[in-house]
Amino acid sequence: MQTDILELVKAKKEQLVSRRRDIHKHAEAAWTEFRTASIVAETLTRLGYQVSVGAEVIEAEVMMGVPSEQELLNHQERAIAQGADPQWVAKMQGGKTGVMGVLHFAQPGPVVAFRFDMDANDVLEATADEHRPWREGFASVNPGAMHACGHDGHTSIGLTLAEVLVEAKQQLAGTVKLIFQPAEEGVRGAKAMVSRGIVDDVDFFVGLHLGIGLKKMGTMTCNTVGFLATTKLDAVYTGVPAHAGAAPETGSNALLAAATAALNLHAISRHSQGASRINVGVLQAGTGRNVIPDKAVLKLETRGTTSEINEYMYKRALTILEAAAAMYEVKLAVAPMGGAANCENTPALVTRLQQVAAESNLFDSILPEGNIGGSEDCTYFMERVQQKGGQVAYLMVGTKLAAGHHDSRFDFEEESLVTATALLSKAAVELLSTK
């Protein structure tokens, strides 16, 4: 069966591209992927997978950075107007747009999971002829949402992998789980799926990303490194407004509390055991020059090369946020808006998949490692699988990029969809083989 995989996937190229372009055209940001998720659920059901959605795969209490109830309702209505099945959308109330398809094969064997992210970025897509999606008519029709990171490609790859595994099922053993995750941008979605226990029985877990550090077709790695643990926070200060000239002493200045916090957050001592980061990216406060500001919002993040270093930065940040509130006698509310763990691949699985890649003849260069250079909440899945005794690997497949990730002119070479799908299909056959 291994030798037939590439031809099988090549025959599906038109469908791979068509799916990717349809998802790109109807881009949906974090927790609003109602149309995308309903297409995924419908396709997996048609193929014979046992499909779980909504609260079955998303723990509501762990969701971070969820839009307002009204925003979610607006996006649901838009999704249905753009072709989403209302019955599937109804099961995703509250933004629970995760989907998992499970397929059991006849012979006993391992549980193998593949994860694909579905969400778009909060980006206004370029409208210029040199931008291929615009030129060829598949640019986003949803203002302010754009697939500027390749998740449209990932979702298309996952659905085509689902088809390949059904066609190869007589040669396979064990169980496959295909996990379609919402809200990767802002690292908000994985933890809520992990908390439902959906990977607690997984023996082998594989994640994948197009591009990132590999910007050349024909390159790949099964050993992605450089995952930074991170915590995203919103800190809201609430004080007492007052006339700045007539009665300033009766007010409590939320702006000064936030400014004091911002300066001191950047003064946190760095950690000796690895890289540590903190950044205040947004400070919003005040209504007028003659009013003591009673509201202020800080949006910040911490990072670390290990989860322990990130936790150190996070705890120190909380101390400073609270101290600033006490100094200016204002109230403080801190809301988690996203997070990711640090994680490393399992060497044994990396070696096994590198061998699959080498034997596939799909690549000119198989790199010993590649640096992701940031945070990815797939690490929550990876961390949990390893904690339960399983093995994990995060792959990167190279592709030529029209512009960098999260750029309004982002686009990738669609031939990489074939390459990545063939690679994952071969990996699945290797890990689920009856041999």
Residues in binding site: 149, 151, 185, 209, 406
* Residue 78 in tokens: 């838009």
- Supply φ then ψ for residue 337, to 5 degrees: -115, -5
Residue found by looking up tokens 């995703």 in the block: 92
> Which residue numbers belong to the known binding site for Mn(2+)?
149, 151, 185, 209, 406
- Supply φ then ψ for residue 43, to 5 degrees: -65, -45
According to DSSP, the residues that pair with 207 across neighbouring strands are: 115, 394
CB atoms within 10 A of CB 137: 9
Contact call for residues 119 and 29 (beta carbons, < 8 A): yes
DSSP for 128-170, please give it: STTSHHHHTT-S-SSTT-B--SSHHHHHHHHHHHHHHHHHTGG
Q: Provide the 8-state DSSP code for 408.
A: T
Count of residues making up the chain: 435
Distance CA 343, CA 183 (A): 19
CB atoms within 10 A of CB 361: 8
55, amino acid identity: A
